[in-house]
Amino acid sequence: MDYKIISDRLKDLLSLKNEAVGIKLLQDNTSVTGYNSNNKYTFCQFIMKAREGNRLLATADNIACANGASALGFIPVPEKLMNGDFLSQLGSFQKEGAQKTMELMPRFSQKQFSGIALAPLPEVDFDPDIIVLETVPEHLMWLALATIHGNGGRLEFTSSISNGTCVDTTVVPFLSQKLNVSLGCYGCRNATSIPDENLLAGFPGDQIQDILDSLQMISEKAMPRTREKRAYARLI
């Protein structure tokens, strides 16, 4: 696939201002070249930096957040996380709630992957396992609709308002093979440039062509009518 063309179509159809990020889950870190692993970032910062135009390689050695690194299977979950101390000390949960949240957290298996390559979608030289977007809710509404445009149904999104990027937009979409939308979390809204009004979403990369085809059909009638607010215009 030509991901430059795919990225341009996605941006045009949704009116995106930010680049999508392509993510590759690696069994062998030497399978990619030209990806910088020198800097330490939280995983949400890795995604932010990739969105800004950088090719990066996240590993057990350079993920600066133990919560994210353990959720991605790079390190064991620290006891301070599992027993609820860490999240309760942040003030985001009471200790019992924090402990239950950690127990229910979806995670990759330990050492399931050796690294994670990230790049702006138009610049990837791999077929992404996951594609991540950060944008306004209206854009994600159309993206979500595109995933059920053909077969219909209802959508369910999962989050604990913790690990809003590493788990909600990477682990969950990979394990479920479905789109997941995230409200963000204490970490990503503290550590990245995400505006207050933006949300995040991740979906399996091999679904991008079907999503684009559905977005194209949606854009021919439903999307412009809604964006023009015709019903509201008649009201006023």
With vertex at residue 23, the alpha carbon angle to CA 143 and CA 205, rounded to the nearest 5 degrees, is 45
pLDDT for residue 230: 86
What is the residue extent of each domain of the chain?
3-228
pLDDT for residue 236: 84
pLDDT for residue 67: 96
pLDDT for residue 60: 97
pLDDT for residue 187: 94
Per-residue pLDDT of the chain (236 residues), as tens digits, is 899 999 999 999 999 999 999 999 999 999 999 999 999 999 999 999 999 999 999 999 999 999 999 999 999 999 999 999 999 999 999 999 999 999 999 999 999 999 999 999 999 999 999 999 999 999 999 999 999 999 999 999 999 999 999 999 999 999 999 999 999 999 999 999 999 999 999 999 999 999 999 999 999 999 999 999 989 988 98
Residue type, 132: V
With vertex at residue 203, the alpha carbon angle to CA 224 and CA 36, rounded to the nearest 5 degrees, is 115
The Cα–Cα gap between 56 and 137 comes to 27
CB 226 within 8 A of CB 166: no
CB 3 within 8 A of CB 22: yes
